[in-house]
Amino acid sequence: MKALALSRTSKEYIAYMATLNLGFFVFQSYYILYLRVNGLSYTDITFIFAANFVALALLNFVSGNFADRHGRKKAIVIGGAINVVGFLIYGLSSSLLLFLAAEIILAGSWSLIGGSVEAWFVDELKAGRRPGEAARTFPLSGGIGNILGIVGGVIGSLLAAVALNLPMLAGALFVGAATLLALLFFNENFGDRTERFSAMVRQSMGHFRRSAALRDLTYGEMLRSAAVVVYLLIYQPYMVAVGLGEQYLGLYFSMLMISTALGNLLSGRLADRSGRHILLASSCTVMLASFLIQPLVQGFLLAGFLFALTGFANGLALPTVMVWRNSLIPSGMRASTLALLSSMLNLAAATLSLGLGPLIDATSLQAAMLVGAMLSLLAIPFYFLAQRRSQGAGDELQAAPAIL
């Protein structure tokens, strides 16, 4: 089997991401409901979302440069330890201010982990002369991680039946285990260790300005990921509103993870056959249709199917974006440039969040669905522009066989 031919680096990456994602999935299985039960309005929830996104945008620059200069493994391990603290604060709190503090702490954590683990993996493969393996590993890792979301949903349901804060505390244990895996098994690697922070930021921003393909891909992702924020914010309360019992939210979360995992696993083959720009545009089209149809259906079965379709579309997109953007970034500034891109995505999400919560409180969840549909539609042209402008550019990660 091709999966068995994966390098040790890919297997370490998959094991780490699977354990880390399991922690996040257990944490997220009752996340929105937990906040609502603790008295937060949608305006409050989107306020703490926005605080997280803004903190991420600001911290990403520093953490990306830290990872390139001082070591990606070091950044991953420190970020994991901080993440555990953030989850514990969430699980032991019940006030808006403490939730806000936890979100800022989690932003610090993910600013260290997010770009660092992707940069670590891609450059470890390059060091082992297997850069094309990333195109197979990203979809496989995403698929395995989301399949474990089934386990996360079940664990979340069982724990929430005892107390709604237990999924948060259990999430901390899994993230701690993932951090230990990185500490014990990851090799250390670096980006450009000679450049100062200000110089690296200038270089990353200069590369972003020069690379039209990277710019267009990022603009499309800013819009598409903002639509995903809408989906993540509304699906739990909407499913309860249309008749799903609260006790079944964890199990439904497992179903969403199945659909997202299926998208992850199919993304490599579909991108090879149709082209990555076609796949990303199709993902946005599916999300657009789901958001538009959702207000017209009745009952939790059809509503649940449409949200699962949105999860599938997001699962298709993520590995494709990861492979594409890494093919457009030089190794020496990879973590720093990924941090810059993440900052832009998070600023877009923060802007959306600040308006979305008051909109829902003043109108309805259906109004948020129309916002998600508009964002999905606006993202589509940017992927075609990115494809046209990336033709002829170095694309070392694209050509690799699909897993399936």
Size (the chain), residues: 404
**pLDDT averaged over every residue in the chain:** 87
Q: Residue 400: which pLDDT band, with cuts at 50, 70 and 90? A: very low
Closest CA to 232 of 346, 318, 314: 314
Q: What is the pLDDT of residue 195?
A: 65
Q: What is the pLDDT of residue 382?
A: 97
CA 163 to chain centre: 27
380 vs 43: which has the higher pLDDT? 380
Mean pLDDT: which of 146-150, 296-300, 311-315 is highest?
311-315
Task: Render pLDDT for 1-56 as a digit per residue (tens, 0 to 9).
Answer: 444 588 999 999 999 999 999 999 899 888 888 898 899 988 898 889 888 888 88
Percent of the chain's residues with pLDDT above 90: 45
State the Cα–Cα distance between residues 366 and 339, nearest whole angstrom.
Answer: 33
Q: Residue 340: which pLDDT band, with cuts at 50, 70 and 90? A: confident
197 vs 357: which has the higher pLDDT? 357
Is pTM beyond 0.85? Reply is no
Residue 227 has pLDDT above 70, yes or no: yes
Q: For residue 210, with 0-12 CB atoms within 10 Å meaning exposed, 13-18 middle and 19 or more buried, which class applies?
A: exposed
Q: What is the pLDDT of residue 288?
A: 97
Residue 392 has pLDDT above 60, yes or no: no
- The sign of the CA dihedral 178, 183, 184, 186 is positive
Percent of the chain's residues with pLDDT above 70: 94
Q: What is the pLDDT of residue 5?
A: 80
Q: What is the pLDDT of residue 393?
A: 53
Mean pLDDT: which of 99-113, 117-131, 191-205, 336-350 is highest?
99-113
Residues 6+ apart with CB under 8 A from 284: 224, 227, 313, 317, 376, 377, 379, 380, 383
Residue 77 has pLDDT above 90, yes or no: yes
CA 289 to chain centre: 22
Q: What is the pLDDT of residue 1?
A: 42
Q: What is the pLDDT of residue 87?
A: 96
In CATH, the number for domain 7-390 is 1.20.1250.20
Q: How many CB atoms lie within 10 A of CB 34?
A: 22
**DSSP secondary structure, 211-224, as one string:** -HHHHHHHHHHHHH
Q: Are 170 and 260 in contact (CB under 8 A)?
A: no
Residue 333 has pLDDT above 60, yes or no: yes
At residue 376, what is the residue type? S
Q: What is the pLDDT of residue 396?
A: 44
Task: Render pLDDT for 258-286 as a digit per residue (tens, 0 to 9).
Answer: 898 889 889 888 988 999 999 999 999 99
Six-digit token string for 217: 């891909």
Mean pLDDT: which of 108-122, 165-179, 227-241 is highest?
165-179
State the Cα–Cα distance between residues 17 and 22, nearest whole angstrom.
Answer: 8
